[in-house]
Amino acid sequence: MGHSQTARPPIFDGHNDTILSLEKTGRSFFEQSTEGHIDLPRSRAGGLGGGFFAIYIHDPIAAKPTQSSESPVDTVLNIYADERTWPEPMSLEYAQSAALHYLGRLLRVAQASNGQVAVIHTAAELQRALDDGVFAMLLHFEGAEPLDPDGEALEAFYAAGIRSVGLTHSRRNRFAQGVPFKFPSSPDLGPGLTDAGKALVRQLNVRRVMIDLSHLNERGFWDVAKLSDAPLVATHSNVHALSATPRNLTDKQLDAIRDSGGVAGLNFAVSFLRADGARDANTPVARMVDHVEYMVRRMGIDHVALGSDFDGAPMPAEVKDAAGLPTLVRGLEDRGYAGEDLRKLLHGNWVRVLRTTWGA
Ligand SMILES: [Zn+2]
């Protein structure tokens, strides 16, 4: 085939829900599984050097499937399909206790790894881990529900390693409103940030914690664009012009990300790749590369990265899981990405934007 596996740069990925998958299936991060998408053996096989590990708090109602045949992904998609029937925001106490549970589980993966996995706190630590072949774990909140408006919990979670916060998942909380899972739709649904949300942006800027715009509605996006002093980042969102889900980014949003020096991460979820929005695993890798190519043409090579949504969404069958990442890399190479450009897409842009945001 003429493709050299060894010469490829390691991949750092902008989003996974692996800690939820480990808990749901009972599988170990250190043993190769046929369930879910990420474990250490499959990461090694696919060239995955690490990523953002999301702490996502299930709504108390969504914690149980509404029908016994449903997967957790289906339950979340059904409950959050229509903003008119969303459940009330969860309590701070509930969110904090769930967050501590998942945070502890993530820290235990690193502790139990014999130095094979490291929680990274700076861009220098991330680059060193990628260079040394240590799997890099970045701790991220997908939804700010565990944070109190006064900012004290942020200090504690920061000390525990949290370095990235998405203001909201596809739902409403005390800070912001996300987009529902409906198709097709504009992302311009619902109000912008609350006063507490605006205060949270300032707290995250002061602490130099990255703000993730994926899932946020469009008015919230523009509020953050106006208030934040950091590059704009959408960890796992695609191109709205190619797949009209509100989870994807309009051309104006892509332009704002570029102008701020930020990054958008390619989401592999089939329904966010396809023009018809279908949850069809028979979605070719070429569709993934189409989104990368569109973003590169619109924003430039410095502003595009990967944000798989492994363990949180249905993947294209050709990729399947972390071990299948070389299929995507070959797709990028076949479209002409190589050398420094490929290195930027696979991890370099994440390292740069995190260094700018975190300051080290
Ligand atoms: Zn997500």
The alpha carbon of 234 and the centre of ligand 1 are apart by a number of angstroms equal to: 10
Ligand 1 centroid from CA 236, angstroms:
7
Residue 107 Cα to ligand 1 midpoint, Å, equals: 21
Q: In angstroms, what is the span from residue 324 Cα to ligand 1's centroid?
A: 21
Distance from residue 130's CA to the centre of ligand 1 (Å): 24
Distance 53 CA to ligand 1 centre (A): 11
pLDDT at 67: 59
pLDDT of residue 2: 45
CA of 259 to the centre of ligand 1 (A): 24
Going from the Cα of 214 to the center of ligand 1, the distance in angstroms, rounded, reads 7
Distance 310 CA to ligand 1 centre (A): 10
- CA–centroid distance, residue 165 to ligand 1 (Å): 12
Q: How many whole angstroms separate alpha carbon 232 and alpha carbon 236?
A: 13
CA of 172 to the centre of ligand 1 (A): 14
Place of tokens 């089939």: 270
CA of 2 to the centre of ligand 1 (A): 36
**b/e per residue, 74-86, with b = 16+ CB within 10 A?**
ebbbbbbeebeeb
Q: What is the mean pLDDT of each run of 10 residues along the chain (360 residues)?
A: 64 98 97 98 98 95 62 76 85 97 98 98 98 98 97 98 98 96 95 98 98 98 98 98 98 98 98 97 98 98 98 98 98 98 98 96
Question: Model pTM greater than 0.75?
Answer: yes
How many whole angstroms from 177 Cα to the centroid of ligand 1? 14
Q: Which residue has the tokens 């602490």?
A: 207
- Could you tell me which residues come within 8 angstroms of residue 203 by beta carbon, excluding any fewer than 6 positions away? 151, 154
> How far apart (Å, rounded) are the C-alpha atoms in residues 38 and 56?
16
What is the Å distance from ligand 1's center to 169 Cα? Answer: 7
Q: Which residues pair with 265 in a beta bridge?
A: 305
Q: Are 123 and 360 in contact (CB under 8 A)?
A: yes
Cα of 174 vs its chain's centroid, Å? 21
Rounded to the nearest angstrom, the distance between the alpha carbon of 69 and the centre of ligand 1 is 22
CA of residue 181 to ligand 1 center, whole Å = 11
Q: Residue 110's pLDDT is what? A: 98
**Given phi > 0 = left and psi -120 to 50 = alpha, else beta, which region is 161?**
left
Backbone angles phi, psi at 41, to 5 degrees: -60, -45
Q: 8: CA distance to ligand 1 center in Å?
A: 27
Amino acid present at 49: G
Rounded to the nearest angstrom, the distance between the alpha carbon of 158 and the centre of ligand 1 is 21
Distance 145 CA to ligand 1 centre (A): 14
- The secondary structure of 32-101, three-state, reads CCCCCCCCHHHHHHHCEEEEEEEECCCCCCCCCCCCCCCCHHHHHHHHCCCHHHCCCCCCHHHHHHHHHH
Can you give the pLDDT at residue 225?
A: 98
Rounded distance from Cα 135 to ligand 1 centre (Å):
22
